[in-house]
Amino acid sequence: MYSIPWYIAIFESIPETFLIIFLGTALFNIFILRIKIFHASVLSAGASFFIRLLPLPFGIHTFIGLIVISCLVWLFGELSWWVAFICTLAGMVCLLVLQSLMIPVMLPVLGLEYSELAKQPWLNVFLFIPQGLLMAVAVLFVKSKKVYLYDLHEKA
């Protein structure tokens, strides 16, 4: 696992976490003030920066991130732990599916190898832009059409 520079934590991790939380809560009809989502995103990005410094096997940082973000959604969103976890998990699954579909297509189109992402961290930011835009469109769609996986508004 490679560590991330501070600027990746700011320019990728913060917006990525914001969209994970925003989409995840929207999918379950949960409302959290955007400023609270932003604060949770900043704290999560800071945690991610330090977690990535640890000598962990590949992928473990994702599970730790899931727990960290869930805890922050629980605290800032004032939700039950399980609702916070379910919302975070849904948002993270959406992001991981997008990454799994888009990155294998984008890398060859750009003439890049996966190993270059560690060598040139700014590439992560540029690769996140289309994913982030699609997640933002998904949030707008879910919010405007009131499309929910399950309405947890009353149960939160």
Task: Give the domain range for residue 31.
Answer: 6-145
Amino acid at 1: M
Structural domain includes residue 128: yes
Does the residue 150 lie in any domain?
no
Structural domain total, the chain:
1
Largest CA-CA distance found in the chain, in angstroms, rounded: 49
In a domain, 47, yes or no: yes
**Domain annotation covers residue 21:** yes
CB 131 within 8 A of CB 14: no
Q: What pLDDT does 153 receive?
A: 84
In a domain, 155, yes or no: no
For residue 23, count other CB atoms closer than 10 A to its CB. 23
Q: Is residue 43 part of a domain?
A: yes
Provide the whole-model pTM: 0.93
156 within some domain: no
- Asked if residue 153 belongs to a domain, the reply is no
pLDDT tens-place values along the chain, 156 residues long:
567 788 888 999 999 999 999 999 999 999 999 999 999 999 999 999 999 889 999 889 999 999 999 999 999 999 999 999 999 999 999 999 999 999 999 999 999 998 888 888 899 899 999 999 999 999 999 999 999 999 998 766
